[in-house]
Amino acid sequence: MSTDAPSGSGTIQRIDQTLAALEQASCDPEFPQHCLGMMDDVRAALLQAREAIAAEHDKYRALFDAVPDPVSIIARDGTVLDLNRAGMQAYNRPREDIVGKPIEVLNPDLPRDHLAPVLETLDRGGTYVIEVTNMRADGTRFPVEVHSANLAYDGRDAIVAVARDLSKRQEAEVRYRELMESIDKGIIIQDAQGRFVYGNPAAMRILGLRSGESLAEAMGNGRWKVLHESGHEMAYDDFPTVRALRGGRIVESTVIGLYHLMRRQLLWLAVTAVPQYAPGSDRPGQILSLFSDVTELKRDGAWFDRAQALARIGGWQWDRGTDEFYLTEEAVRILGASSPPEDIAGFLACLREGDRQRVRNLLSEVDSGTGFELELQGAQADGAPFWIRLIGESESEGHAADVLTGTLQDITDRKRAEETLRVQAQTDALTGLMNRDAILAQLDARLADPAEHRVALLYIDLDRFKIVNDVLGHGAGDQLLVGAAQRMREAVGGEGLVARFGGDEFLVVCPTADDGERPKRLARRIQEAFDPPFRLDGDEFNVTTSIGIAQAPTDGTASQQLIQSADLAMYDSKRRHRNGWQAFSPELAARQNERLQTETQLRRALDNREFHLVYQPQVDLRSGRILYAEALVRWHNPQLGEMRPDRFIELAETTGDIIRIGNWVLREACDQMRRWREQSLPIHRVAINVSYRQFTGDNLGESVRLALAEAGLPGSALELELTERVLVDDTADTLHVFDQLRKLGVQLSIDDFGEGYSALNYLRRLPIHSLKLSQSFLAGVPRKPSDVAICQAVAGIANSLGLGIVAEGVETEAQRDFLLRLGVRIGQGFLFAPGLLPGEFAKRVAAQQEQA
């Protein structure tokens, strides 16, 4: 907005100065006489312009002073250039006390940079509006709403600011708020979207809401049901507020019912809905609802009975003096008696025995002015069970105190829902067995009861469940869990409680006071139930169980202690031999403590430089000549002594420390291979074992690349021995690692082939170079036919796929001869040498070189 204002007195003053100069010039005798006529014309034009400007200035001044609100003309630096009469009156100051002064003289509370947002808005062509407080000459303040716009004034950019006094409006708002707060009618305001934005105290009281409670939350969806006068539920489009909002007209007093679903409380209100419009709007911006509570007026109407039926609430009255008992029609329907009870005995006959006595005791104690509330269970005449909430109180003091009245509400559906939720909360959704929380609650209850605390806990784990999950997918895994649960349920029968504890782990709780052999018998019965294979996706799978047994009170008196003991026994059974059971013992606990101690020391071993490598020769079986070396890690701890590799490697895989240890072995073996090459020893390759955890939890390909690069070795100088478990993990990351190793030229072999998953399909697709024949199969050769057959089968697989084969654990000449006849060329074992320190290994290779 841009407006031009006349130059006013300043322009007239300059014209007067020009006229005086012309007059002075015309009196000068030296002034050219022929120019006097022209000067007269100029003087006449200036006088005419002066009169016109003076007239326009008078009009501007009259209009300026006629504006009823204070108007200021302000320079862009904040200096007041002009002020109208209303401004002088409002501020109670003469014009000269304001004009020429900074705007802060009118509003001392303005911040230092208050003009910045004003100028920014005006420069964009907008109008700036703000509420501030202005000051009169006597120091009193009053609120104003200031509208600012651009103005061209006296030839320069300026600002025109109109200030509207808000004092009266604020006083009116205060009176309006006081009226809203004090009126005894409920008032609620909702926006155009139906959101609740305001409720006066009367509304909160009528609706039963606490002071400070959120109106929007209390009136939210799912808390109230809106009813017609007929008692039927009201459609949303019929709500008075919705009709007023959509129609834009007042909806006169309409009776509606509000039923609170949580409190089971019914209110009847007479509501008037008034649409409210914002200035300049053709649609309502909000709805004001004015309502009164008419519940008392409607309570005795016929429609109220229908509404009570909808809410499943009936009424009752009992006169203790005459024993007359009255029930409303809905109350009679809820009780379902063959005939309406006429006295208290008839009513009590509808209840179960335990609740009858509760009601008798309570009714005999009720005094005047006291109330009660009970939840009771009973049965209808046809045997159908019901639950009711009985609420009552005495009507008044004196004789009338003998009359008790109240409501009777059908809560059967809620009780059934609660029972369903209770069962669901205690049931494993997949198997239908008890879940973890339920079995723990049962176990805690029995351990706390001296009569039942002699119990046993069986901790059951499915052996090789992960294989099914990994190979066939989670759907087959879930199918297996459901079948396993069914077999356990049938095996245990009524002798104990069966629960799914989590994953593929199950618990059985059984009493032992009457039968001390029950836990072992149930363990054997469960394992026998798993003898038949499971049929999954058309294939058969043999799945067994490992079971740990702990008994209270000897192995624990608290549920968590008993579970830990049984878990420890189960883990020991799984570690020593799958498909077995193990009872907890103090010796087992001692071994567990030893394991924890070992785990602690293992975590520090690498930093303390407690590991070293030995190298077992891989030799030509025919000549005994050393061809390759296998690096084997050894651990000597100052406190624990020399630790067996099978013990600490298994522990390291469990804890995840195997990743750090494996990386150290990789770098150390490559460094040793470099040193042997520098000694010109003819050792063609060094082999190291790689844990499946290094595949899944480490960037193995990059670690191998860096180790080879730091040692200056080609990939062919390194062989990685993998377990079959790695092959099952057929993920994109695993295949990427195989691809990286293939590109590096690293040799890959499968260690202990045949002991694990024997996933032959992976041998065709992955870059495997050789198989290692397990020592466990070679041990029975050549006497044991089954071991002979397995060795022949492994050799046949290797030959048919074009893979190399290495036999480990060669200890006798008979075994070597058997391997040579089988076509196996390379082997290792105590027949040739144990694991040797690097120096000893180098001496043997050097001696072999000299003999050649």
Residues 6+ apart with CB under 8 A from 480: 462, 465, 468, 534, 536, 541, 543
Q: Which residue has the tokens 């100052």?
A: 638
C-alpha distances in angstroms, 286 versus 17, 193, 231, 598?
63, 8, 28, 73
Predicted pLDDT of residue 675: 95
- Identify residue 260 by its one-letter amino acid code: H
Residue 331 CA to residue 118 CA, distance in Å, equals 71
Residues 6+ apart with CB under 8 A from 840: none
Residues 6+ apart with CB under 8 A from 140: none
C-alpha distances in angstroms, 551 versus 517, 520, 524, 559, 582?
11, 11, 17, 11, 12
Predicted pLDDT of residue 623: 92
- Identify residue 41 by its one-letter amino acid code: D
Residue 691 CA to residue 649 CA, distance in Å, equals 9
Sheet containing 505-511: give its strands across. Answer: 497-502, 505-511, 455-462, 545-551, 580-583
pLDDT tens digits for range 236-250: 899 999 999 888 888
Residues 6+ apart with CB under 8 A from 456: 509, 510, 511, 512, 518, 519, 549, 550, 551, 552
Report residue 300 as tokens. Answer: 């005795």
Residue 473, SS3? Answer: coil
DSSP one-letter code for 495:
G
DSSP-derived secondary structure for 152-180: EETTEEEEEEEEEE-HHHHHHHHHHHHHH
Residue 674 CA to residue 587 CA, distance in Å, equals 47
pTM tops 0.85, yes or no: no
Q: Look at the alpha carbons of 304, 306, 312, 318 in this order and tell me if their dihedral is positive or negative.
A: positive
Predicted pLDDT of residue 311: 55
> 462: which strand partners?
545
Residue of 615, 614, 499, 514 whose CA lies nearest to 566: 499
Residue of 232, 256, 231, 234 whose CA lies nearest to 307: 231
Q: Look at the alpha carbons of 186, 190, 195, 197 in this order and tell me if their dihedral is positive or negative.
A: negative
Maximum separation of any 2 CA atoms in the chain, in Å: 155
Residue 788 CA to residue 567 CA, distance in Å, equals 38
Annotate 169-195 with b (16+ C-beta within 10 A) or e (fewer): eeeeeeeeeeebeeeeebbbbbeeeee
Residue 90 CA to residue 104 CA, distance in Å, equals 16
Peptide bond into 94 cis (omega under 30): no
Evaluate whether 651 touches 602 at the Cβ level (below 8 Å).
Answer: yes
Residues 6+ apart with CB under 8 A from 136: 90, 91, 92, 93, 142
Predicted pLDDT of residue 620: 95
Q: Which residue has the tokens 């119990």?
A: 455
Residue of 652, 654, 674 whose CA lies nearest to 663: 652
Evaluate whether 697 touches 662 at the Cβ level (below 8 Å).
Answer: no
Evaluate whether 367 touches 394 at the Cβ level (below 8 Å).
Answer: yes
Task: Kindly calculate the radius of gyration of the chain based on its CA atoms and give it in whole angstroms.
Answer: 49
Residue 390 CA to residue 410 CA, distance in Å, equals 9
Evaluate whether 126 touches 172 at the Cβ level (below 8 Å).
Answer: no
Q: Average pLDDT for consecutive 10-residue bins of the chain (852 residues)?
A: 49 73 72 70 72 68 78 88 86 86 83 83 85 82 85 83 76 64 82 87 85 81 80 86 90 87 82 84 87 74 50 78 83 87 90 88 72 88 89 60 79 80 78 90 88 90 79 81 93 92 92 91 93 82 90 89 90 77 84 79 91 96 94 92 86 86 95 95 94 79 94 95 73 80 93 65 79 88 89 89 92 95 94 94 91 72
Predicted pLDDT of residue 303: 47
Residue 35 CA to residue 761 CA, distance in Å, equals 121
- Identify residue 477 by its one-letter amino acid code: G
Residue 459 CA to residue 445 CA, distance in Å, equals 19
Residue 436 CB burial class (10 angstroms; 0-12, 13-18, ≥19): middle
Predicted pLDDT of residue 307: 47
- Output phi, psi for 834, to 5 deg: -80, -170
CA geometry: angle 300, 306, 312, nearest 5 deg: 105
C-alpha distances in angstroms, 196 versus 236, 271, 312, 672?
16, 16, 29, 78
Residue of 741, 651, 729 whose CA lies nearest to 697: 729
Residues 6+ apart with CB under 8 A from 765: none
Predicted pLDDT of residue 261: 82
Residue 579 CA to residue 597 CA, distance in Å, equals 28
Predicted pLDDT of residue 688: 96
Predicted pLDDT of residue 302: 45
Residues 6+ apart with CB under 8 A from 743: none
Evaluate whether 632 touches 613 at the Cβ level (below 8 Å).
Answer: yes
Residue 601, SS3? Answer: helix
- In 10 A of CB 588, how many CB atoms? 20
Q: Please name the helix (run of DSSP H) or strand (run of DSSP E) that holds residue 411, with its range, or none.
A: none
Using DSSP bridges, classify how beta strands 251-260 and 224-227 pair: parallel, antiparallel or unpaired. antiparallel
pLDDT tens digits for range 717-738: 999 998 877 776 556 777 888 8
Predicted pLDDT of residue 170: 64
Residue 614, SS3? Answer: strand
